[in-house]
Structure 1
């Protein structure tokens, strides 16, 4: 409470001081306003005492009030206090100069010493004002181009020369000393200085400089009136000139304390109108020199004119120097420093010009864009060092340049990627150029004492077939280059078939929709039942991801999984599949259907060492046991990540999750790779099972694999069983499980529940019928006695799945189930 009270007390005192300060400033302004009105009115009122009263008493009070007003202005920064001191001194000197001269006139004193003192005080006034202007110009102004400085010199010298010439001519015309016209000349000089500063440097103009400009304008106006009075023979200030002087010092007094906040003054671009100003000043000086040849002019005017012309010559020399420097900088900005070829910016500029020139004529433009990427450059760079890599790039750049025509445009876009634009070139000539480039690049290069060879993968795009603008050509050439680097040749001409799904506009839209679908959980799961071939029972469900696209309908994994893999969406999609699959499995188990669900693991999931712990937590949250979950891993991905994959699979095995190898047999398969891994099942690929009825060699291989798996204690699952003949052969070979359209096609979650419910009802009916049949047989036996017939002693087992087996609905070939 005490602290708050003290704070409120300080705030109240500060508020009272601020109010008192405002009252004092208003009183001082009222004194100055009274003096202005009185001085102006003295022109109309010819009272005998008016001249002495206004010239001495009122002006003295007004100048004193202006000085006090300036002292009351608050300045926080050191530069602001320096500006304030300069202006206070200027106001005092100006007031003393005018009051002293008026006092001498009123008292009829000798004017010569008074005039000398007045001129000295006026000169000191101008020095103080000049110092204040310089201090204000320096604040926030940093880099000053040399041409701007010369512009200021030309304008300043030109203005002073012209004013001095006018003053000298007027002095001769009116038989007055030239010093009579010096104040207007200096006023013009200072105004020119401020105008040049605001014209070339300040944006927006500073209010303090505007106030000083207004003050100088008023002083110049009053000086011109005083000069006219002197010409007419009067040595006194008129009332109008006195009023103008008082307004001027008031504007000066209000200058301190303004524009003291953080401010960065930015350079303005010099327009044509601003560039003409120094030229006009120089031309006026030449006119002054020509006039001086016909009249006897003070030599000072000639010296000032020569200085102006020298400043103009210096400006032109500086302009030429800066233009040359700007040209060099523009060249460097478009040149690759390492190879001296064009960089990306330079290539874009020149290529865009060439393409636009081609498109402007009536004939069909033909240009070829080649995009070359060095092969194995990273290996050279990493093994031999960056210096060797830089030397290789310089050598490659030189060889590319030597292999091309003078009109061809070549650039290094970055890293080890080069772009070449061939004007007037079609595909038939672009391909030989790509061959020539590779032949040149394949010559050995000595790097760090070693002879190394490199080559390049080149993508080719032709205008206008593959695009009319540079961006489209670059994109298509990049697609072709990527395909060539994948092993489809050293060079490749772009075709629309080479587009990856994400490299087209439509593909980019599909990718954005896929991101949204994953983020909002819009992907769905269908389930492929897995049946025991010995009993016909459903022993599991494989979760298969689907996407209900808003425009394309139901999309299968083959239509969007490449986008998922290439755009770092696999982790998010796996998490979504885990969540939905475990939710559905928990629903089945809550209804009494103890059917495990199998989930496919895609990269980078198998490399996640925390996967076993995360799955354990997820199963615990859903109320499921580990036996309710199976994971399937593709053979190819497992072999590519064998060490880390073994660690993850061991964790899943200890957890009790079933582990299966998916798509076995679609590549270079070997069970030897899996003898040290905790594998529970091998899923035989559909390509291996489909030809078993037609190809005896394929049947022999399949039978051998099943026998070997049985010996290793690994269960086998046949995928893609489409006919009863294949099912019969697999059953005869001893295959454990099967799945395919012969049994069930993939089911939605709702259809899966329906199938499980129907099977459960059929099983209940079967058990009930079996029980009733047993009772009836017992009754018959009791009636028949020992001679009864043993009817029903060996009844075949009931197969509810066979009774509920559905026909496979239409399925498009080539699509993953």
Structure 2
């Protein structure tokens, strides 16, 4: 049992025993009177201490609210001490007295604290809460006037000040009770338990004050009575409510929310009762009857109109709140709502050691869809992506669109289950999206970060940053699986971040440098040789783009191609690559080496109907045979119109240019492309190939793909070869061509020429494993 529960239980048992003692009258009148006075000082001191403890632990406006409530309770404690001094030491209890000043501090400061308390209502409703309290208090005063107060004046025997002071207690209590009920009605579910106890305590105090005022007016109040029990239990409930509030997670969140129906109706119920009682007591006056009926109808119409207006405003506020916290396109949570829920989840994580995970998703090459098919199609695709994520996630998970093509999922609970859900979400992109007649294979880069129980102080910003680091790791590796954050990943990405800038200003600077590098022909090509496994001869090279950045070193394509795609530089880079590659092939030919050369093209380039003519013209200008060039296209980037892509490929092949499907096995529509597109060569993805050593199923698949390629009249090239064992298996499977670091890393043009001149074979070039 938590410590606060032990304290609350002990206080409850002690208060119950004290009340039983008083009601039983053990020890005689003097002992009971002393126990009554000292007991009230003790129970009010307990409530004051609990409120002060909660104020010390609270944050922001919640701290201010509990400070004000503590001051009100302290005033009651001082009043109880003064009353005990009068009654126990002086033997008399005058009325009015200094004790009344302390007692009246309670409703004033508690009301102020309730108005400040952040429980879900908008911070701009203070005046409205006070006015609601005045309406209810005024209505109840009308009821009390005809029921009790008028009789007090008619009985006489007390001064106007004494009567006014007697009425001050129930009237101020009525305002406090009304405000407490309205605040409770506006509170979020997670904040209601302490407020229920606080409101119940205030109600008991108000009832006790009303009973005291009634008994005092009839000169019938005795020190030990039910009224005393009401005060005692009320103070106890307030103290326990304060303790419970201190146990809840601390939060800085203070958002606005639509008031509940109960909060709207509370002020009008006592108003209606007061009108009925008032009419019943004065309607018998003949000269007032017509005007009174008209007045009641007029007030009723005004109230009814106000209820309608308030209802309309409540619906508008609810709609505005939903729009402010949700993405208008997909209906998912937006960044603000996601951040709020993540912050709350981490507070629970800190208290209960419950794991919390964040999945960061970024759609790869989404800009190709917007550029190729238009933004309306992109919006439809984003909506479909949101539906798939929702379908794969659990109902308890929070899914958000953070902006553009960025999504995030908040996963609470067991870490292993969170990993499984994340993998299920990523796997949900396995089938292409059918959008307006297009079948678009789209996949996300996915990174998962988990806040473990042993890391209780992890902030929301830090957890999001870790998820992004894992996501960028997956993006750079073009990994299909979910990458889970690790410390090593942080170090690796940190080193890479020192070379690749992130953020608005840094990205703009890098974009400017990239444009300058393209204009000044500063991007270069490296060449990785391709070997024939039959005689181990060099049968061609693949041209690989690099950027020798003046301050960040030699950058690989993964570090800058996103800028190329997103800022309309595809055509410029494509022309640069084709020009440099064909110039180099012409130089090698002039040195006596006819070396087939392969270049990677962006998929949108193959949907450009003028591309084939430009490539053929470039070959003719250099006197190169079209068979010298192989055009490679990554299969997971074929997002545009397949018919146009087929037309361009057929034109190229008609002239003799070969076409290869690169990174085979990394996308989702591979077999469909083999069926629909005229392909000469299949390049098996490095991840697809590397698994054959330790995974029998992977080996069967690779062998089957190689056999299928042979049946279709296509050649196969295995990429990323790093060891002799893989070479042996591929030779056994019937694969003909290979390339990778096991044989040769990408070489400069000069180094490639030296390799050609040396006449070395694959056996000579191989790096010992």
Report the TM-score when normalising by structure 1: 0.37
Larger radius of gyration: 1
Report the TM-score when normalising by structure 2: 0.39
